[in-house]
Amino acid sequence: MTTPAVPPPPPVPTVRPGTPAPTPEPGAIPPPDIVRAAYAELVVTDPAASREFYVDLLGLVVTHEDEDTVYLRAFEEYLHHSLVLRRGDGAALAALAYRVRSPGEVDAAERYYRALGVPVERRAAGATRGIGPAVRVLDPLGFPLEFFYEAEHVPRLHQDYDLHGAGAIARLDHFNIVVPDVARAERYYRALGFRVTEDIRGADDTLYASWLHRKDTVHDIALTGGDGPRLHHIAFSTHERGQVLHVCDLLGARRRSAHIERGPGRHGVSNAFYVYVRDPDLHRVEIYTTDYYTGDPDHPVLSWDVRDNQRRDWWGNPVVPSWYAEASTVLDLNGKPQPVFAREENHEAEVTVGADGFSFARDTSPQVGSPS
Amino acid sequence: MTTPAVPPPPPVPTVRPGTPAPTPEPGAIPPPDIVRAAYAELVVTDPAASREFYVDLLGLVVTHEDEDTVYLRAFEEYLHHSLVLRRGDGAALAALAYRVRSPGEVDAAERYYRALGVPVERRAAGATRGIGPAVRVLDPLGFPLEFFYEAEHVPRLHQDYDLHGAGAIARLDHFNIVVPDVARAERYYRALGFRVTEDIRGADDTLYASWLHRKDTVHDIALTGGDGPRLHHIAFSTHERGQVLHVCDLLGARRRSAHIERGPGRHGVSNAFYVYVRDPDLHRVEIYTTDYYTGDPDHPVLSWDVRDNQRRDWWGNPVVPSWYAEASTVLDLNGKPQPVFAREENHEAEVTVGADGFSFARDTSPQVGSPS
Amino acid sequence: MTTPAVPPPPPVPTVRPGTPAPTPEPGAIPPPDIVRAAYAELVVTDPAASREFYVDLLGLVVTHEDEDTVYLRAFEEYLHHSLVLRRGDGAALAALAYRVRSPGEVDAAERYYRALGVPVERRAAGATRGIGPAVRVLDPLGFPLEFFYEAEHVPRLHQDYDLHGAGAIARLDHFNIVVPDVARAERYYRALGFRVTEDIRGADDTLYASWLHRKDTVHDIALTGGDGPRLHHIAFSTHERGQVLHVCDLLGARRRSAHIERGPGRHGVSNAFYVYVRDPDLHRVEIYTTDYYTGDPDHPVLSWDVRDNQRRDWWGNPVVPSWYAEASTVLDLNGKPQPVFAREENHEAEVTVGADGFSFARDTSPQVGSPS
Amino acid sequence: MTTPAVPPPPPVPTVRPGTPAPTPEPGAIPPPDIVRAAYAELVVTDPAASREFYVDLLGLVVTHEDEDTVYLRAFEEYLHHSLVLRRGDGAALAALAYRVRSPGEVDAAERYYRALGVPVERRAAGATRGIGPAVRVLDPLGFPLEFFYEAEHVPRLHQDYDLHGAGAIARLDHFNIVVPDVARAERYYRALGFRVTEDIRGADDTLYASWLHRKDTVHDIALTGGDGPRLHHIAFSTHERGQVLHVCDLLGARRRSAHIERGPGRHGVSNAFYVYVRDPDLHRVEIYTTDYYTGDPDHPVLSWDVRDNQRRDWWGNPVVPSWYAEASTVLDLNGKPQPVFAREENHEAEVTVGADGFSFARDTSPQVGSPS
C-alpha cells in the first residue's frame, strides 16, 4: 500500500435530467401499467437445502410448501409470496413477475407482447399457487416475465416483532439481470414505462449498467452488462443496516459464511447498504437497505463514470470477480435453458482493472520492513 | 464460485482456562501496576496532513497544537490526549504509553525495566505536554514504552452531542504490535500482569497472535506474529457499529475511500466490529466497537485455529495482503529506527492461503456462462 | 403500579380491504393527479429563532434566505425547498403544497377547486421562490393548499456524508391536520385520489383519525379529529431510528430538551419510529422513520380500535395532553386566521382516558412500602 | 405548552475530583476485593410466569431449572447464572451477589462483616446451584449480600448469533437499591472499595442519589434516596440502543407493553440508553446500554443538580411517579421481610415537582384554539 493521498481524483457522478416515458409511435400498443417487481420463481435442485437457506438463515416466512415447492414472503408483505422455490434438474430462473395495476392490465400485457411477436402464455388463476390470472412471456431480452394483478392476501407480519429475527427482511425490492446490450435493454424497459434513476457509463458513453424503477425506490430492475440473458440477483430489503449486518453475523454463527460473496458495503449507485449472498444453487441474493425516494416525475438521473472506484462500493472496496462473472441461467416458457450471448462491448470488470479493487487507490503490494 | 455448502467445516475455537499472572521468581522486582493503554506518539511527516486526517475525517478533538505537534483526544476522554502527532523526517512510532495506577508505579516501572537491563529514561513532567513525571524504556521486544500516572485533566465531551459527528469516536482502546516471536512476547506481557483473552494457534501449537488486557476489555495490547518490532495499529473505539460505518461513508463523501484498507467487518477474535484505515503516513488505525467484558479473574481464553477462516473476519471476508505485510517502523529512545528481525516461524498469511481469502470457501474463479 | 398481567387484552387492529378511488359522478371534474406532500409554508414570528431551530438543531439545509424568509430542504431533496419559514405577526400555517404530476395538472387543480366553489388563486412562477406556476386554494376543509409542478432543482446531498450530522433528515414525509369531522375529510381526500392506509375508530364506528397516501408510504396526509381547521404537524423522515435518537441527544446537549413534546417512540399506527418536537412558535414537527411500502393498488386498511392503548404508541407510553390539544392556526388566502370549529363527535383524548396513559395498564399510583 | 425557549437554563452538572478509597482506620479489617455485581436472587410468586417474562420476552438463557427455581444468564456470561428466580410466598429480593477476586476474599468478606457486627452466614458450595463456597451477610444498610469467587463455567454464547434475538442482552450490569440515607450508604460502599462516578445533589448539598463502581463501568451499585431498604432494580446491558428498542417492540407485539414502566430514553446520569420494565411480580428490570469507561484511578465525579430536569432523562421526559415510589421488599438471611424506614431528607420526586415532568419546561396545559 503506497500513500493513499497521491492519486488524481476519480471522475464523480454527474446529474442528468430525468427520463420520462418515451412518446409511443402512433398506433402503438400501450404497455401494461406495472406497479413493481413482485416475485421471482427460482428452480432449485434441492428444495430442502434451499428452504434451510432462505428460512433458517435468511428468515423468510413460509406461506405454503409442498414436496417440490416452497412459497416464501418477507415480514411486510401481504401477497401470497415474493419468492417461489421449485424443484428442478438444474438451477435456473423460471420467472420474474411484475404486478400490474388492475386485472385489465394483465390483458394489456398480453396484447403488448403479442404485438412484439415474442412467446406469450396465458395462465389460469392458481397456475402459480396464490396468484390469479396471469400472462407469461419470453421478453425481447430473453427473460421469462410474468404479469399478474390478483393474488391471495395473507397476514402482514410487520408488527409481529416476536417473530422477527435480528436480521428481519421487510420485502422484495428488485431484480438485477445480465444483458449483453445494456442500451438496448434500457430502451426496452423505458418503453415499458420504467424510468432511469442511475447508470454507469464509460468515457466513450458505453453504457455498462442502468437502474430503472416503477415504485418509488431506486429500482425495480437493474441492467448489468455481460453475457446474457442471465439473472444476476434478486434483492430483498430490510429497514436498517443493522439487519443486514445481522444476516452476516448469523451466517458466521452457523459456520456458513461461505454464502457471503460480497460486502457488506455501501453502494455508490443507489446509496444503499448491501450484502450479496449465494444460495445453495449459487443463485445470488442481495440484502439491501436505505436507498432513496424516486417518485417525482422529473427525478434526475445520477450517472457514474465506470472509472470511479466508488461507484460499486462507496468505500472503494474491490468487487470480487465472481460478482461480475457469475449469474443464473434463465429458462424459456418451456423450461429450456436460454442460450447466452456474449457482450460485444467492453466488460466493466475489464475496464476497471486499475479502478476497481486493483487500482492505484488500492495498491496492496506488501512493503515488508519499509518505514511504513 | 462453486457451491458454498461443500467444504468440510473448519476447526472452531476452543476454550482454555484463564491465564492468571505467573508466579514471580523469588526476589524478582514486581512489575508496575498498569491500568490501560493510554496514548500513542506517532512521528508524521506532514502534521497538517495528519491533522486533517485525524480531525476533519476521523473527528478527533484537538486539545492542543503547535507548529510541530498535535495533541488529540476522543469524546469520552478526560486526560490531555490519547494521540500525539509529532513532525519528523520519517513516519514511525515514537512511544506507546501505558497509564499506571499511582505515582509510585512510575517508579516501579523504572525499577522493573532497569532490572531487565534495557534502556530506561526518566522524563520530567511536561516532557510530553499534559503528562506528568514518566519513564520511557526500550522494552525487551524492542518497543519504546512510556509509563505515567499524572496527566492534565480536560473536559470530557461525552454528552456534547452537538459536537459529535455521526462517526463519533469514544476513546483509545488498544495497541497492536508485530513481533517475530509471539510466544516470547506473550510471556513478557503476562509477566507484566496482562492476561490473555484470545489467541490464534496452528495445529502444531505455533502461536500466531495473542490478545492481552489490563482494563475490562478484550485487549490493551495485541501481539501479531511477523517481522518486527513494528507497530501494526492503534485502535479507537466507538459505541455502536453505525459510527464505524459512518467513518467509511464520510471518507467516501470526501473521495478519500483509499484510506480504507480492510473492512468494515466483524472480527472472529474479539467479536468486535471494525474497520482499518491508513493515515497519510500509512500508520494504521482501527475503529473498533462492541467487544465484551473480560474483567473477571478467571476469564477463559478463546483459542482459534489458524485454519479457521472466520478467525480474522467472522463473515469469512479475505484479509488484504497489505494488512499482514505492512506495519510502522518503531524508534528507540534516541529516535533511531529499530532494526527489524524476521519471524522464523510460519507467517499467518502463508499458512492461511487456502483458508483466508483464497480458500475453498471463497473460490472466486469466474465461471462465465455456466448454469450459475 | 399493580400487576401488569391482569388487564383484559385490548382490541387489536383489524384488516379491511383497500380503498380505491371512488367512482366520480358522471360529468364530474377530475381531481389533479397529486404526486406527494411537497412543502409547507409556516408563518413564524422570529425567523432568526426559527432558523436556529431548523438549521442548527434539526440540521435542515438552507437553500436560500433573505431578511424575512428562509427556504429549507433535507439532504435527499432536489427541489428548491420543502419548508418555507416566513416572518409574520402570528404563528400560523400559510400553505400546504402538493406536487402534481405535470404542468397540466396545475390547471386541473384550478378547474377542480373552482368547481367546488372555494377560493382559488393563480400564482405566477416565482410567487414562492423556486416554485413555478401554481394554484392556491382554500379547500373545503378550510386549509390553504398549493398545487405546483415546476420547481427549481438544487443539488441532492444524499451522499454528502461529511455534511450529514448524526441526526440527518432525509426528506419531508407528510402533513397532519386537525379537522372536526374526520369522516367528511376522509371522503374529500379520497375523492382527491388519496387512499386510506390506517385509521382509528370507536366501537360505534366513530372515526377518530385517518391516514391517506399518494406516494408509496403510509401517508402524505393524516386527519386528526379535533377542533379545526388547524395544522397538527409536519413530518420529516430519516433513514434509521438512531438518527431520530440523535436529534433528541443533540437537543439535550444544547439544553433545549424542552422542545421535545412526545417520544421518541414507536407508533402503533404506521409502525414508524418517531419523536415530536415543537419549534419556537410551537409549530409541531415530527421526525419519523421506517414506516412501510404501500404502493400496491389493493393495499389493505389497518383499522385500530380507539381503546387500544398501543395504537398511538406501540409501547403503550401515554400521549401527553398537549399533543391532543394544541395545533397551529391556519390562514386563508389573504393571510387571515381561519375560524376554528369545534369537533362535535367524541375527542380521542377523552374516550381514551383509561386506555391511553391513565389506564388500567399503566396504573402509576405509588405503593410505598408494599411488597413490591 | 407555552413557548419552550423561555425558561432560565437549569443548573448543569459539575465535575469533582475522583473518590479514591478512604484511608482505613489503623487496625481496621480490610474489606473484600470485589470484582463486580454478579447475580441477584429474586423471590417470585409464580416461577412459570416469571420464566415466561425473562426467557420468552427478555430472551435470557436458562442454564438450569427445576420446579421452584430458574437459573438464568445473558449471552456473554460464562458463570452459571446472573439471575436466580426462586418460588416464594411474596415477591422479594433474597440476595445481591458480588463476585470477589479470589477464594481468600470470601474469607475476607466474612471477617469484614463479622467485625461490623452484622449477621453473617457461611454457605457451602452448591448452597446456590453453580456457586462455590460463599458468605451471605445482612449488611449495615439492611440488604442481604453474598460474596463468592468460585462458580461453575458454562458456554458463553456471545457469537451464537443464531440464538440472539433482535433484543439480545449481553450481561448483568448493576444493582440499584433504595436507602433512606444516601450519604451514609455512600460512605459504607466507599469503605468497601467502590468509587463514586456520578451523583445528584440539592442546593443544600443533600445527596439524593449516588452511583459507584468496581468494574470499569459507571456502576455496580446505585443508591437511590427513599424509604428503605428496598431493591429499586437490577440492570442488564445490551451492546446497542437498537436492542433496547427491540425489547419494547417485542413487548408490544405480544401485547405486553404494560410491562414497560419508563422509557426508552437517554439517561443524563451515566449517559446510558435505557428502558425500565416490571416483571410479573413488579420487580423492576432495566435494560441499559452504552455508558462509558471509568477504570482510571482518578476518574472524576460528575455531580448533577436535583433541579436539572435532564439529570434522569437527558431528553427531559418526565419520570413516572411509580418509578420513584415503588421498589421491591428485601429479605433478611432468614427470609423474613426487612422493615422499611422512612427517608428523613427530602424526596427527589417532591423537590423536582416543577423540574421533572411537571416543570416550566414541560408545561402541558392545553391551549385549545389558541394560535398555536
Question: How far, in Å, CA of C43 to CA of C92, rounded?
Answer: 5
Of A35-39, B177-181, C348-352, D105-109, the poorest mean pLDDT is in C348-352
Q: Which pLDDT value is given to residue C143?
A: 98
Q: Is residue D3 part of a domain?
A: no
> What does DSSP say about strands D301-305 and D14-16: parallel, antiparallel, or unpaired?
antiparallel
pLDDT tens figures, A206-234: 999 999 999 999 999 999 999 999 999 99
Exposed e or buried b per residue across B66-84, where buried means at least 16 C-beta atoms within 10 angstroms of its C-beta: eeebbbbbbbbbbbbbbbb
- Assigned C-alpha cell, C129: 421562490
Q: pLDDT of A164-174, one tens digit each?
A: 999 999 999 99
> What's the CA gap between B186 and B225, in Å, rounded?
11
C217, pLDDT greater than 60: yes
Select from C167, A4, D241 the least CA-distant residue to B57: A4
D76–B295 CB contact, under 8 Å: no
Question: Distance from first CA to last CA of chain C, Å, rounded?
Answer: 9
The pLDDT value recorded for residue A218 is: 98
Enter the C-alpha cell of residue D64. 438450569
B249 lies within 8 A of chain C by CB: yes
Chain D, window 33-62: residues with a beta carbon less than 8 angstroms from a chain C beta carbon: 49
> What does residue B51 show for φ and ψ, rounded to 5 degrees?
-60, -45
Task: Measure D264 CA to nearest chain C CA, in Å.
Answer: 8
Q: HSE-up of C133 (CA within 13 Å, CB side)?
A: 10
- Name C204's Cβ contacts closer than 8 Å, sequence gap at least 6: none
Interface of B with C in 118-177 (CB under 8 A): 159-166, 168
For residue B11, what pLDDT is reported?
84
pLDDT of B8 reads 55
Please give the C-alpha separations between residue A153 and each of A84, A149, C58, in angstroms, as whole numbers.
Answer: 16, 12, 40
* Residue pLDDT, tens place only, B287-327: 999 999 999 999 999 999 999 999 999 999 999 999 999 99
The pLDDT assigned to D21 comes to 80
Buried b / exposed e across B227-247, counting CB within 10 Å, b at 16+? bbbbbbbbbbbbbbbbbbbbb
The grid cell for B26 is 523469588
B269's grid cell: 477474535
Which SS3 state, helix, strand or coil, does residue D183 take?
helix
pLDDT computed for residue A358 by the predictor: 37
Q: Is the CB of residue B74 less than 8 Å away from at least one CB of chain D?
A: no
The runs of H, that is alpha helices, within chain A are: 47-51, 103-116, 182-191, 241-253, 321-325, 348-351
d(CA D202, CA D210): 12
> What residues of chain D lie within 8 A of the CB of A246, using their CB?
161, 166
End-to-end CA distance of chain A: 9
Q: How many residue contacts between A and D have a Cβ separation below 8 Å?
A: 40
Which pLDDT does position D9 carry in this prediction?
A: 58
| C-alpha angle B162-B163-B169 in degrees, rounded to nearest 5 | 125
D253–A162 CB contact, under 8 Å: yes
Question: CA nearest A147: which of A103, A83, A85, A178?
Answer: A103
**Sole residue written with cell 519471524:** B343
Mean pLDDT of C280-289: 98
Going by C-alpha positions, the residue among A108, A190, A107, A101 that lies closest to residue A141 is A190
ipTM (interface predicted TM): 0.93
Inter-chain touch D240–B290, beta carbons under 8 Å: yes
Domains: count for chain A: 1
Q: How many Å apart are CA C20 and CA C261, to the nearest integer?
A: 35
- Mean pLDDT lowest for which of A322-336, C53-67, C240-254, D18-32? D18-32
| Bridge partners, residue B331, by sequence | B337
Considering only residues D370 and C96, tell me which one the structure prediction assigns the higher pLDDT: C96
Minimum CA–CA partner of C13 in chain A: A159
> A256 in a domain, yes or no?
yes
| C72 falls within a domain | yes
* pLDDT (0 to 100) of residue A24: 84
Q: What is the mean pLDDT of chain A?
A: 93
pLDDT, residue D283, reads: 98
CA distance D133 to C91: 70
Whole-number Cα distances in Å, C240 to A77, A225, B359, C243: 20, 33, 36, 6
Task: Say whether pLDDT at A44 is over 70.
Answer: yes
B55: its cell numbers: 480531525
- Is D261 within 8 Å of C368 when comparing Cβ atoms? no
User: In one letter, which amino acid is C356?
Assistant: D
Q: Which subunits count as partners of chain B given 3+ CB pairs below 8 Å?
A: A, C, D
The CA-atom distances, in angstroms, between C29 and each of C32, C102, C141, C191, C305 are 9, 17, 19, 11, 36
Q: How confident is the model at residue B364 (pLDDT cuts 50, 70, 90)?
A: very low
Output the DSSP codes for B313-363: -TT-PPPPHHHHH--EEBB-TTSPBPP-B---S--HHHHTTTTSSSSGGG-
**The cell 512511544 sits on which residue?**
B95
Distance CA B39, CA B51 (A): 16
pLDDT at A5 over 60: no
**Cross-chain Cβ contact C90/D49 below 8 Å:** no
Backbone φ, ψ for residue A309 (5° rounding): -80, 10
pLDDT score for C1: 56
**Residues of chain D neighbouring A254 (CB-CB closer than 8 A):** 162
Q: Report DSSP state, residue C32.
A: P
> What integer pLDDT is reported at residue D207 of this predicted model?
98
Amino acid in the structure at residue C273: F
* Three-state secondary-structure class, residue C49: helix
Please determine, for residue A350, whether its predicted confidence score (pLDDT) is greater than 50.
Answer: yes
CATH code: domain of residue A136: 3.10.180.10
pLDDT at A9: 58
Q: Which of D256, D278, D366 sits opposite C322 (nearest CB)?
A: D366
**Partner residue facing C166 (CB), from B159, B165, B253:** B165
Mean pLDDT confidence for C41-52: 98
Residue C198: predicted pLDDT: 98
Do D190 and D97 contact (CB within 8 A), yes or no?
A: no
Q: CA D340, CA B140: separation in Å to the nearest integer?
A: 60
Digit-coded pLDDT (tens) for D129-159: 999 999 999 999 999 999 999 999 999 999 9
**Long-range CB contacts (within 8 A, 24+) of A196-199:** A196/A18, A196/A19, A196/A301, A197/A270, A197/A294, A197/A299, A197/A301, A197/A302, A198/A13, A198/A269, A198/A270, A198/A301, A198/A302, A198/A303, A198/A304, A199/A301, A199/A303, A199/A304
| pLDDT computed for residue B354 by the predictor | 47
In a domain, B43, yes or no: yes
Q: What is the mean pLDDT of residues D215-240?
A: 98
Q: Which of B258, B283, B371 sits opposite A90 (nearest CB)?
A: B371
Residue C23 resides in a domain: yes
Residue ranges making up the domain that contains B326: 14-21+31-152+170-351
- Binding partners of D (≥3 Cβ pairs within 8 A): A, B, C
Do the domain assignments include residue B9? no
Q: Which residues of B touch A368 (CB under 8 A)?
A: 227, 325-326
> Which one of D163, D240, D246 has the shortest CB-CB distance to A161?
D246
pLDDT category, C138, cuts 50, 70, 90?
very high
pLDDT tens, A66-92?
Answer: 999 999 999 999 999 999 999 999 999
CB count in 10 Å sphere of residue D145:
21
What pLDDT does C353 receive?
56
Banded model confidence at residue C302, pLDDT cuts 50, 70, 90: very high
The pLDDT, as a whole number, for residue C269 is 98
Determine, yes or no, domain membership for A228.
yes
Residue B163: inside a domain: no
Q: What is the pLDDT of residue A367?
A: 30
Residue A370 has pLDDT above 80, yes or no: no
Q: Which helix (H) or strand (E) holds C110?
A: helix C103-116
